Amino acid sequence: MTQPDLNHANPHAEAAVSVPPVASFREPEFLLSHIQDTLRFYAPNVLDPGGGFFHFFRDDGSIYDKTTRHLVSSCRYVFNYAMAYRQFGDPQHLEYARHGMRFLHDAHWDAQHEGYDWELEWRDGHKRVLDSTRHCYGLAFVLLAYSHAAMAGIEEAKPMIAATFELMEHRFWDAAAGLYADEASADWRVSSYRGQNANMHTTEALLTAYEATGHLVYLDRAERVASNITLRQAKLSQGLVWEHFHADWSVDWHYNEEDSSNIFRPWGFQPGHQTEWAKLLLILERHRPLPWLLPRAIELFDAAMTHAWDENHGGLYYGFGPDHTVCDHDKYFWVQAETFATAALLGKRTGNERFWDWYDEIWRYSWAHFVDHRYGAWYRILTCDNRKYSDEKSPAGKTDYHTMGACYEVLTHALADAPVESAR
């Protein structure tokens, strides 16, 4: 495990910022205020008038790389501002969503090879491609971005939903396996690596595409991918979702075995992906109430909490191995966010207070350690005992899409008539 930069080790080292008291984490006003605080962190510096948004922010909101643009962040910003517009009605958020969508469509798109470039250098309105690898994970977020833009009323996004689905169908869909391949070269030579992460985020995007269009093809595909990963493939890996597979979809137990903290392909069971899949199964159940979805969601959630909750310092660890011992003790922001959203959805769906207790507990931990009460937004990664590694709050890939998305999910689908409990 990388040693922390002790110059930035304590999130409150500059001068202690007291943690504001919260009467209840289950109040809509709390979540709405938190979303607005997070948006305010990005607001002063995020927009690049020359195209897209800036992707690298320090704790204080200053930018430390003005030229690198990553496909995942470009897509997630569209989500951020489309959702913000739908929630708060600020026309500037709608314009930001349009601005981000134009950059995605015009700058990231490679017309020659008909794919979206993974990473760009953007200077004075001109791009230089840094990485043209085609990632299904990236296309999943392209589909998600266009779907959310369409739901925000951006008409030109609507045809891009079907176009992106067809691109994924043509280049990555493995009909025999009923799952998506993962990666290809710029000219679309598909690699032998297979992974669940791309399929998970594709399921998320497919569910959103269905909500944006009402077209059953997206819901049918979401159900198929979800069942194949969380039932069929999980049977090969102790009933939990493993990350890595060979080309024939047999489990690859050793891929990245020495790299449990890889940003997109870590070794080990990912607690955050068990709970994120549980969330997606509950979203799928809203549209298609199949009997296996709720029990499976509970199993995945409970496994994550059993094997990954840190009883000493709070929070969920990043990964655990096949023997259920923790292989990466770090705490990642997105793991906590996805898990509190799932806990709330399970609490609402089942009426069982134990899930709401977990919701409160994860929020208490995150509010005390991850949320930056000086400048806003969440720190990205902490040590086991909740110290920061650096002052790089939001590098490429992190736009607080996970944290704001979790808040929206709880607001919209868990809090109606939910029990109100003191935050203590």
Nearest CA to 387 out of 349, 336, 331, 344 is that of 331
Say whether 126 is catalytic: no
Expressed in angstroms, the distance from the first to the final Cα of the chain is 34
The two structure tokens encoding residue 109: 């798109």
**Marked catalytic residue, from 273, 287, 329, 413:** 273
Q: Which long-range CB contacts under 8 A does 226-232 form with residues at least 24 apart?
A: 226/277, 226/280, 226/281, 226/284, 227/292, 228/177, 228/178, 228/179, 228/199, 229/179, 229/196, 229/199, 229/200, 229/203, 229/277, 230/277, 230/281, 230/296, 230/300, 231/292, 231/296
Residue 369 known to be catalytic: no
What is the phi/psi pair of residue 12, to 5°?
-115, 25
Active site residues: 273, 402
